[in-house]
Amino acid sequence: MGNKTPPEWVNRTDSLLLDAFVDNPYECPIVIDKNGIIRFMSRHNTIEKGYVVPPEEAVGKHITAVVKKTRMPEVLKTGKAEIGETFFIGDRQRVIARIPLKDPEGNVIGVLGKLMFHQTEKIKDLNRRIEILEGQVQYYRSEVTSFEGGRHAWEKIIGESFAMLEARKYGLQAASSDASALITGESGTGKELFAQAIHQNSHRANGPFIKVNCAAIPHDLIESEIFGYEGGAFTGARVRGKPGRFELANHGTIFLDEIGDMPLPMQAKLLRVLQEHEVERIGATRSTKLDFRVISATNQDLGRMIKDGRFRSDLFYRLNIFHIRTPSLREMPEDIPRIAYYLLSNLREKRRLIPNRISPEAMALFKQYSWPGNVRELKNALERAMNIAEGHQISVDDLPDRIRKFYGEADGTAGPVGLLRNILADAEKRAIVEALRFTAGNKAKAARILGMHRTGLYQKLKRYGVDV
């Protein structure tokens, strides 16, 4: 088969595509040759836009006769591109590119000038996006440890007690919604872990999780930290400005920890942000629309704070769509062995320490101690014990003094001997009560389960005052 001439419509389509590519209203190109003579000028470069002559009359003229103060002749001389330069065309500032055109030997044979941005406002938007991306990078660099610790957060919430199951149930409900959630509970009960778990199980899981500790930021800086500021907005402000935490959390979740410590004036501004989903940086002239989900947490009684005039009721109702209460260790003593061994496993993996068991006496004490610092205190106690324990087991003697002395101080019995006696007696009483409950009060069966004679069981019942 011989060569065939392509159909006429193919050539016409190619020509139309090429014309549309070259002569488009978004770039409005101008091409000059090596002598500065205009060889092509987009038909969109009209007199109304600030040019001296219309495009059809410009071809053949020197560029300086058509575009005042142009630098295209300079690019002809230097052969260096000028990208992203600002240039006034008429009374409007534009962002342009001047690109040298070279032959295969590298000789400059002309220059292409074109628009990059029609409006400088778009540059400001682009710059804002870059600021936000830089802010997110800096934030995650500083938070990388806690960020890694928050992965697969539900798996790290240990416990099968009723209180913990209830907290997890409400947490999962909150994860399925985009409404605000308030997490309350004592210090050390894992409020941040719950917040991370809710975020990771929500449709925002691929978005950022940005934490704000309202108690850690000085009151005079909290507004700039949360809402951000424009360059030069106040003394000491960065020249480029800084995005706030809400901007960093766009399309993700912002976690307002210790929300009870937020100053009243900031509470009013926060309420407006939650209602409008708009943030205005300090020194800005316009607001930015954002998409975020709010999770807050506190160990304070917000109800009492409202009565005392220290917390806004309207903000409370805005934050408290979902309420999750994290239980203290005192409320779930049956979960303490699970939690303790989970922490022990993690500590051994990170620190490469030897102990892998907790003695029955130490575990009994764990279940009886009040744990005012909750899981955080338990982890601290285990870490201390692991560093001083001899062998593969953590004993009572390896625990901090405040825990070892707990029982001795409670009943006036001082010293480790009295402590150990109390612990063992308590553990024995619990075992007897459980055995009797299991056998529906049948003492003979309970004695067999416990591995003791029935007479011995009667003596224990009398000693501990157990009434069956």
Whether 125-327 shares its CATH topology with 331-462 is answered no
| CATH 3.40.50.2300 is right for the domain spanning 125-327 | no
**Residues 378, 382, 385, 389, CA torsion sign:** positive
Q: In the CATH hierarchy, which fold is given to the domain comprising 331-462?
A: Helicase, Ruva Protein; domain 3 (1.10.8)
The CA–CA distances, whole Å, from 90 to 45, 48, 50, 75, 163 equal 11, 8, 4, 22, 70
**Residues 355, 361, 364, 370, CA torsion sign:** negative
d(CA 232, CA 38): 43
d(CA 299, CA 420): 34
**What distance lies between CA 337 and its chain's CA centroid?**
31
With beta carbons less than 8 A apart as the criterion, state whether 97 and 114 touch. Answer: yes
Q: Which of 318, 293, 295, 315 lies closest to 305 in space, CA to CA?
A: 315
Domain ranges of the chain: 13-118, 125-327, 331-462
Over its length of 468 residues, how does the chain's per-residue pLDDT go in tens digits?
Answer: 445 565 565 566 667 777 777 777 778 889 999 999 999 988 887 766 667 788 888 899 999 988 888 899 999 999 999 988 877 776 667 788 899 999 999 999 999 998 876 555 565 666 666 666 666 666 555 554 444 444 567 888 999 999 999 999 999 999 999 999 999 999 999 999 999 999 999 999 888 899 999 999 988 889 988 998 887 666 555 666 788 899 889 999 999 999 999 999 999 999 999 999 999 988 888 888 999 999 999 999 999 999 999 999 999 999 999 999 999 999 999 999 999 999 998 888 876 767 888 988 888 889 888 899 999 999 999 999 998 888 889 988 899 988 887 655 444 444 444 555 666 677 777 778 877 877 888 888 888 877 778 888 888 887 777 776
pTM score? 0.63
Domain 13-118: which CATH class? alpha beta
